[in-house]
Structure 1
Amino acid sequence: MNFKQLGLSDDLIKILNKSGIADPTPIQKQSIPQIIDGKDVIAEAATGTGKTLAFLLPLLENINPKSNEIQALILTPTRELAIQITNEANKLKEFNDISILPVYGGKDIASQLKKLNNNIHLIIATPGRLLDHLERKTIDLSKLKTFILDEADQMLLMGFKNEVESIISKMPRKKQILCFSATIDSSVKKLAYRYMKNPIEVFIKQNDIALDAIEQDIVETTDRKKRDALCKVLDEDNPFMAIIFCRTKRRVDELEAVLHTRKYNCEKLHSDIPQNKRERIMKSFRNAEIQYLIATDVAARGLDINGITHIYNYDIPESVESYIHRIGRTGRAGESGYTCMFIDPKNIKDVNEIEDVIGFKIRRRNVEI
């Protein structure tokens, strides 16, 4: 099934082709026709499966540029995601006059207010700054037609449930709701079903993610020797671009300080870093000016960056899903990828669980320190 058969216009398909996108992914095939048709959709798919385009394409298809009302809102948990989705949307709108406004903290609110005096069709926002505008009555959602809750599980994990409900209360009762998430757990379902009307459920199995394109290794070490083991692996691999995942912000800080001292080209990314600095770091990483990005799961959530060749799990992920999401950032678009996880004896049970789900025993890599 191609994009034309899914109901997209020739103009949108031309833009996709220009970007080298010819065939829809499973999430796009299942979601796009339902969204164009005005149905509520609850969709589960990991990062890297094309879910941003799965809601952006039909959204842009349905927006009426001649109307001067806010017709659609995409709510996302982090500023990085809001920026990323805005960039994607701006690439797709060249064929019409759809006006897009990103609304997130760390940006000058006065300039956002000035832009709001113009005709805005689509808002891409984080909860805090959007609520600020709603309370000031500088944003009016009363004519909203479509509401997208992106990375819903992360939104709830970060404690935004009350903010989301408060934002929904400012919308008309009759609207289309789309809920996209890497994992649809009971708390996400509870929130979604409270507001949705007979939603279509779309579930992309983890097996549909091309794990076979990713070479996976484990290094067995101890927490004391982990840094030296990581550095030895980085020196042996010398990857083009890599993300190194740590469990906490503190672990990110500590590892980044060590790698900087040892002269690695690296930067850290977590929620305590000021917004303008995070944007600069992400821009440099996208431009391949930084070799290693050291990050927490929350900071890297949803970031879709081309060219990542290696993923290093310095700390074991909290769940099998998290492992699959992390490593799914490499091995994209037919390219091969490599991932290496550093474990100590207390992690064996978690490793067994990961191996059970992916269906094979991960190769052990010998590192001599």
Structure 2
Amino acid sequence: MTKFQDLQLSEALVKGVHKMGFEEATPIQAETIPVALTGVDVLGQAQTGTGKTAAFGIPTIERIDSKARQVQALVLAPTRELAIQVAEELNKIGETKRVYALPVYGGQQIDRQIRGLKKNPQIVVATPGRLMDHMKRKTIKLDDIQTVILDEADEMLNMGFVEDIETILAGLPEERQTLLFSATMPPQIKKIAERFMKSPTIIKVKAKEMTVENINQQFLELREGQKFDTLCRLIDIDSPELSIIFARTKKRVDEVTEALIKRGYTADGLHGDLTQSKRDQVIRRFKNGTIDILVATDVAARGLDISGVTHVYNFDVPQDPESYVHRIGRTGRAGKTGTALTFITPREFGQVKAIERVTNKKMNRRHVPTIAEVLEGNQKQAAEELIERVQAGDFKAYTQLATELLEEYEAVEILAAALRGLTKEPDSTPVEISYAEPVRVKRQGGRGGDRGGYRGRNDRRGGGGGRGGDRRGGRGGERRDGRSGDRKGSFRGDDRRRSDDRGPRRPRD
């Protein structure tokens, strides 16, 4: 393994990286950092969770003049959550060099961002639509940009940002370094590289490194109506520390979240209809353990990097195998192991082979647990909890009462009663989860570009995929670029909204 001090970095930057707890570079970091430090363009292919933020962030910060008070680097990200996360990580890396990164995204008051830009950050991390707003208002100056990074470029194209990206890149200084990172390399990515990059060095993480070696992948074949009760049983048996449940639409997220809370679980939902303050609150509660279950759509969870997620449950099959890889990449991070369980209805069984081809790893079949198995698992957890209390020794105030009870009852009877009191009984509280259309593998071409293979009927016009599946070319879906979504969907790219303070209405992030 390559250590950061072997990558010809300044002492201040190595100190900052070590302060974050990083000792050895990941493969994408070890290959990218030395090349990017030379100033050449880089075209990198790597999945989320491989450490690509530090791969482009470290060389970018190293080349920045910390004494110069102007924007010298620009990072484009597809969603507000990813923009915030990337800015946070860049600020941690650049703390010892006094380099500051500012996130700029839709959903936040633009006046607040203008005030932040007046403080002259050296790095701006932005979603495309909001950046173009600032460019039109002339509230951001990009004349001194030395480096531009396109993070998760394929996702930005899927969300309909291609024209915005081309406009932004055309408006930047011609003499600059361009770093482009993408999980996949579709033709549009290659066209952008040919047009806006100069003989880029191609860095590709090997297929083995792009799979999810630390994740135990399982699937359960079941009927749609069995999903929620099965989910509750799995949570009771597995007892995850932190878990993320992925649902296909915003409506499903709300339904599953409400049903979990009704059954006594500490859960909250995350999707594109929430205000920015609410989304920040949900993520903060999940990070600090106030809730231990997060129910989310694909787009809302894009870029989430939360340590300690032990389980991912795919309540609905993702729209495509690549999204599956992104979903389960929320667990098994930083060398830790994780578990990913996917619910497959009989009509969706073909998805198993498609996913196995992409991940290059077999999914293990798991049977739907019975109530008896749930009860047995809960009893074991109760016994473990009781043993932990005994080992902790914090029960002196109860010894006298215990002695008195033993004089009247048998020890086994008392212990059994205590275990019953600690054991969570399986809950069968009725809940309502609407039926969801099965997902089908997307097909290339046809009307609307790269469309999904069915018309979703579950959640208004685009709930399960609408016309055009996940809106890679049609209408609807979770609204990766939808104009209808599962509600009004009047925004593009998950964080676009209508604003009345900026002239003509147009889709924005």
Give the TM-score band, short-chain normalised: over 0.9
**What is the rounded CA distance, in whole Å, between the counterparts of 2:144 and 2:361 in structure 1?**
51
Check 1:19–1:187 CA distance in 2 against 1; reply closer, same or farther (3 A cut).
Answer: same
Task: State the structure with more CA Rg.
Answer: 2
Give the match's secondary structure for 1:120.
coil
Are 1:368 and 2:370 an aligned pair? yes
Give the match's secondary structure for 1:290.
coil
1:155-304 superposed matches below 5 A:
155-209=156-210, 211-304=212-305
CA apart distance, 1:38: 0.6
Map of 2:36 onto structure 1: 35
Q: Given that residues 246 and 252 in structure 1 are in contact (C-alpha distance below 8 angstroms), is that contact kept between their aligned partners in structure 2?
A: yes
CA apart distance, 1:358: 4.1
**What is the rounded CA distance, in whole Å, between the counterparts of 1:128 and 1:322 in structure 2?**
23
**What is the rounded CA distance, in whole Å, between the counterparts of 1:209 and 1:289 in structure 2?**
32
CA apart distance, 1:175: 1.2
Deviation string 1:56-104 (CA, Å, 9 cap, x unpaired) is 1111100011223211101111111111111111112222232322211
Give the match's secondary structure for 1:225.
helix
- AA of the residue aligned to 1:368: T
- AA of the residue aligned to 2:269: K
**What is the rounded CA distance, in whole Å, between the counterparts of 2:296 and 2:207 in structure 1?**
23
- AA of the residue aligned to 1:187: Q
**What is the rounded CA distance, in whole Å, between the counterparts of 1:103 and 1:242 in structure 2?**
29
- AA of the residue aligned to 1:300: A
Q: Given that residues 221 and 343 in structure 2 are in contact (C-alpha distance below 8 angstroms), is that contact kept between their aligned partners in structure 1?
A: yes
CA apart distance, 1:360: 5.0
**What is the rounded CA distance, in whole Å, between the counterparts of 1:325 and 1:137 in structure 2?**
36
Map of 2:11 onto structure 1: 10
Map of 2:77 onto structure 1: 76
**What is the rounded CA distance, in whole Å, between the counterparts of 2:169 and 2:265 in structure 1?**
46
Query: What TM-score, normalized to structure 2?
Result: 0.70
Map of 2:113 onto structure 1: 112
Give the match's secondary structure for 1:14.
helix
Query: What TM-score, normalized to structure 1?
Result: 0.95
Q: Given that residues 322 and 358 in structure 2 are in contact (C-alpha distance below 8 angstroms), is that contact kept between their aligned partners in structure 1?
A: no
Tell which deviates more after alignment, 200-209 or 66-75: 200-209
Q: Given that residues 46 and 210 in structure 2 are in contact (C-alpha distance below 8 angstroms), is that contact kept between their aligned partners in structure 1?
A: no
Tell which deviates more after alignment, 107-116 or 225-234: 107-116
Which structure features the higher share of strand residues? Answer: 1
CA apart distance, 1:275: 1.0
**What is the rounded CA distance, in whole Å, between the counterparts of 1:257 and 1:330 in structure 2?**
24
**What is the rounded CA distance, in whole Å, between the counterparts of 1:359 and 1:119 in structure 2?**
46
Give the match's secondary structure for 1:300.
coil
- AA of the residue aligned to 1:70: V
- Among all aligned residue pairs of Structure 1 and Structure 2, give the percentage whose two residues are the same amino acid: 47
Give the match's secondary structure for 1:253.
helix
**What is the rounded CA distance, in whole Å, between the counterparts of 2:42 and 2:205 in structure 1?**
13
Are 1:305 and 2:303 an aligned pair? no
**What is the rounded CA distance, in whole Å, between the counterparts of 2:363 and 2:322 in structure 1?**
16
**What is the rounded CA distance, in whole Å, between the counterparts of 1:117 and 1:49 in structure 2?**
34
- AA of the residue aligned to 1:175: R
Check 1:352–1:40 CA distance in 2 against 1; reply closer, same or farther (3 A cut).
Answer: same
Aligned residues: CA RMSD: 1.7
CA apart distance, 1:182: 2.0
Q: Given that residues 47 and 304 in structure 1 are in contact (C-alpha distance below 8 angstroms), is that contact kept between their aligned partners in structure 2?
A: no
Deviation string 1:205-228 (CA, Å, 9 cap, x unpaired) is 342146332222211111111111
**What is the rounded CA distance, in whole Å, between the counterparts of 1:211 and 1:158 in structure 2?**
25
Give the match's secondary structure for 1:259.
helix
- AA of the residue aligned to 2:209: D
**What is the rounded CA distance, in whole Å, between the counterparts of 1:36 and 1:335 in structure 2?**
30
- AA of the residue aligned to 1:331: G
Give the match's secondary structure for 2:299.
helix
CA apart distance, 1:254: 2.2
Greater relative contact order: 1 or 2 (C-alpha under 8 angstroms, separation 6 or more)?
Answer: 1
Q: Given that residues 103 and 126 in structure 1 are in contact (C-alpha distance below 8 angstroms), is that contact kept between their aligned partners in structure 2?
A: yes
- AA of the residue aligned to 1:170: G
Map of 1:24 onto structure 2: 25
CA apart distance, 1:154: 1.1
Map of 2:345 onto structure 1: 344
CA apart distance, 1:325: 2.2
**What is the rounded CA distance, in whole Å, between the counterparts of 2:22 and 2:338 in structure 1?**
20
**What is the rounded CA distance, in whole Å, between the counterparts of 2:198 and 2:338 in structure 1?**
40
**What is the rounded CA distance, in whole Å, between the counterparts of 1:275 and 1:46 in structure 2?**
26
Q: Given that residues 210 and 331 in structure 1 are in contact (C-alpha distance below 8 angstroms), is that contact kept between their aligned partners in structure 2?
A: no
CA apart distance, 1:160: 1.3
**What is the rounded CA distance, in whole Å, between the counterparts of 2:348 and 2:293 in structure 1?**
24
CA apart distance, 1:363: 2.1
Q: Given that residues 76 and 128 in structure 2 are in contact (C-alpha distance below 8 angstroms), is that contact kept between their aligned partners in structure 1?
A: yes
Map of 1:129 onto structure 2: 130
**What is the rounded CA distance, in whole Å, between the counterparts of 2:360 and 2:95 in structure 1?**
44
- AA of the residue aligned to 1:15: G
Deviation string 1:87-138 (CA, Å, 9 cap, x unpaired) is 1111122222323222112222223222322332111111122111111111
CA apart distance, 1:16: 1.8
Give the match's secondary structure for 1:219.
strand
Tell which deviates more after alignment, 277-286 or 185-194: 185-194
- AA of the residue aligned to 1:64: D
Unaligned runs of 5+ in 2: 372-509
CA apart distance, 1:263: 2.3
Tell which deviates more after alignment, 348-357 or 265-274: 348-357
1:33-112 superposed matches below 5 A:
33-112=34-113
Q: Paired residues, what number?
A: 369
Unaligned runs of 5+ in 1: none
**What is the rounded CA distance, in whole Å, between the counterparts of 2:100 and 2:15 in structure 1?**
20
**What is the rounded CA distance, in whole Å, between the counterparts of 1:286 and 1:205 in structure 2?**
31
1:143-154 superposed matches below 5 A:
143-154=144-155
